[in-house]
Structure 1
Amino acid sequence: MCYDDNARPPLPPIEGGSAHGEDIVLTAADGNRFAAYSAYPDKSLGAQVIIYPDVRGLHQFYKELALRFAETGIRAVAIDYFGRTAGLTSRDDSFDFWPHVQQLHLASFFSDVKAAQDHLHSSQGSNLPTFPVGFCLGGTLALLSGTQDFGFAGLIGFYAGMSRNIDGEGTALDRAEEIKYPVLGLFGGADQGIPTDQVQTLEQKLEGAGIEHEIVTYPGAPHSFFDRRATDFAEASIDAWNRVLRFISAHTSR
C-alpha cells in the first residue's frame, strides 16, 4: 500500500487560498454509487482535477490532497474505486483492499470517471480543462484513461506502475502509444516496484508516438516520497508540486 492513515500530502509551494470540501456520493451510468470528496476553491484558476488514489481507494490523504489543490485555485474531486464491491464503507488502514483491487475493471472505472467529470462540469457550469492526477494504481489508471475520449487537458501520474495488466487489455507500457493527451510522469529513482528501465521505455514510447510529455525521476526517492512526513525528500516534493502546477497552468492557458 502507498499511504497509511498517518500520511499527509505536502503543502503546495505557494500561498494557500481559502477552500472548502465535502464528502459526496456519485452515481455512474450503470447505477454504481461510489464515494468521492469534492473540494472547491473560493477563487478558481479555471482548471480542475480528478484525483485517482492508490490501491486503498479514497482515504484521508486524498481528501486532504483535494483541499490542497483547491487552495491553489484548482477545483478537485477525489474518487473511490470500490463502490461496486465494497459499497460506501471506510477506507482506513483496516480496509482489506486487495480483493477489491482484483475485481477492478477498466470499463466500470471509466464509467466512474465520467460521473466525476460530469459532477465537476455541472458544479462549475462549464467544461473547464480537466486533469486526472493518479498515484500508484491511480497513476497507472491515469495513463490508461488517457487512451479514452475524455477530452482531458493532460495526464499526471505519480509512480505509475507499468506492469499491471487490468482485464488483460495491456499494461500502461503496452498502451502508451495510444495516449491522446500530454503526460507528466513523476517517479522515485529508488522505487523498487517500478524499475528505471520501465520508466525509460515509457518515455521512449511517448517520444516515438509524438506525445507531449515530461518524465521526471527523483534520484534516491522511494515509492510514495510525496508525503509531508518524508522530510528527507521535501525538496523532491516541492519540485513535484511546482511541476504539477506549471503543467496544469501551461495546458489550461492553451
Structure 2
Amino acid sequence: MVTSDGATSEPETGGTRDLQGLDGLVTPPFSRRGFVMTGLMSGLTLATTRVEAQVIHTDETGIEAGEVRIPVGDGPMPAYRAMPSGPGPFPIVLVVEEIFGVHEYIKDICRRLAKAGYTAVAPELFARQGDVSTMTDAQTIVREVVSKTPDAQVLGDLDAAAAWAAAEAKGDSGRLGITGWCRGGRTVWLYAAHSASLKAGVAWYGPVGGARTPIQPKTAGDLAAEIRAPVLGLYGGADTGIPVADVEKARDAARAAGRTMELEVFPDAPHGFHADYRPSYRKAAADEGWSRMLAWFRKYGVA
C-alpha cells in the first residue's frame, strides 16, 4: 500500500520491488550484444520537419555538464549529466528521452535541472538497439529501435544511472526523481512501478496505452495501480494521439489502489508542447508544466 506521501509497505527485493507477475519487467541477464551507439549525438535530431527559432540554450555557468559513460552489465552506456558546481550532494533526476535519443534538447533539459539544483542524468536507452542519430523519420525509429528495446533493459539501465549518479556525480540516492517526455513519459509510469527508491515522477505526455509485446508486456495504464511513488502527468488536451480520457482512466486506477497520481491537462496544447525545437512547442504550457514539475519534486522529497 502506498500512502499519500508515497511511502510503501510492500516487500522489496535487492533495492527494487518484487515484480512477481509482471513478466518482462524484471531485469534479465544482459545479452552482451554490445552497444551500437558508443557516444551521444551532436545537435538536434534529424527526425523533425524543421527546427524552430525559439530553441532554448542553457549555458554552463555555475554547473558542470557533459557526456559520460555509465557502467552496465554489457559495457559502458553513453549518457549526459549536468550538476551544480560545488560539493553536493544534490538530489538526482533521471531524464528520459523522447524516441529521438539524447540529443541537444534532452541535454539542455539536464542543464536546466542542474541550474535548479539537481544532478540530472540522461542515459541513452536505445544505444544497443540502433543509432537514432542517423535516422530521419519517427516511424523508422519506432519500428527499428523503440519497438525492439525491452522494458526490462530500460528499467535496469535507469537503476544503473541512478546508482552511478550517487557514486560519481554528487547525487543523493535518498532524493531520487524521474521525468520523461513522450516515450520517456511512458517510462516514468513504468519506473514508478518498478523502483523502491523513487520519490516522485513527472510524465510529460507519455502514452498510457499501446501494443503489448513479449519484451514490452505492460502498458503504462496496466501499471497505474502499481506505482509506488507519486506521479504527476502533464498532458495536452489537443494531443490527437493520447486521449485525455485514457489518462484519466489510468489516474483513476492509481487512485483507486491508494496510489498518489495527479493529472494536469493543458486544454489547447498538442503533443510535444514542451519540445522547443519543434512546431508543437507552446511556451505558456511548457513554462507552467516546468514549474509544476519542480513543485512536485519539492512536495515529495526530491528537492
Range into which the TM-score falls when normalised by the shorter chain = 0.7 to 0.9
Q: CA deviation at 1:223?
A: 0.4
Q: CA deviation at 1:6?
A: 3.3
- For structure 1, which runs of at least 5 residues remain unmatched after alignment? none
Specify the alignment match of 2:298 in structure 1: 249
Secondary structure of the 1:180 match is coil
Counterpart-to-counterpart distance in 2, 1:9 and 1:211:
36
CA contact (8 A) 2:135 2:141 kept: no
- 2:158 equivalent to 1:118: no
CA contact (8 A) 1:140 1:162 kept: yes
- For structure 2, which runs of at least 5 residues remain unmatched after alignment? 1-44
Letter in 2 for 1:63: K
Aligned counterparts, 1:14-53, within 5 A = 18-28=62-72, 30-42=73-85, 46-53=90-97
CA contact (8 A) 2:178 2:188 kept: yes
CA contact (8 A) 1:11 1:228 kept: no
Q: Which structure's CA Rg is the greater one?
A: 2
Aligned counterparts, 1:172-187, within 5 A = 172-187=220-235
Q: CA deviation at 1:227?
A: 3.1
Superposition RMSD in Å: 2.8
Counterpart-to-counterpart distance in 1, 2:244 and 2:126:
30
Aligned counterparts, 1:1-254, within 5 A = 4=48, 6=51, 18-28=62-72, 30-42=73-85, 46-86=90-130, 89=131, 91=133, 94=136, 96-98=140-142, 99-123=144-168, 124=170, 126-164=172-210, 165=212, 167-228=215-276, 233-252=282-301
Secondary structure of the 2:129 match is helix
Percent identity, aligned pairs only, is 24
Cα pair distance change 1:67/1:93, threshold 3 Å: farther
How many matched pairs? 248
Counterpart-to-counterpart distance in 2, 1:223 and 1:122:
36
Secondary structure of the 2:164 match is helix
Q: TM-score, normalised by structure 2?
A: 0.73
1 or 2, which has the higher helix percentage?
A: 1
Q: CA deviation at 1:25?
A: 1.9
Q: TM-score, normalised by structure 1?
A: 0.87
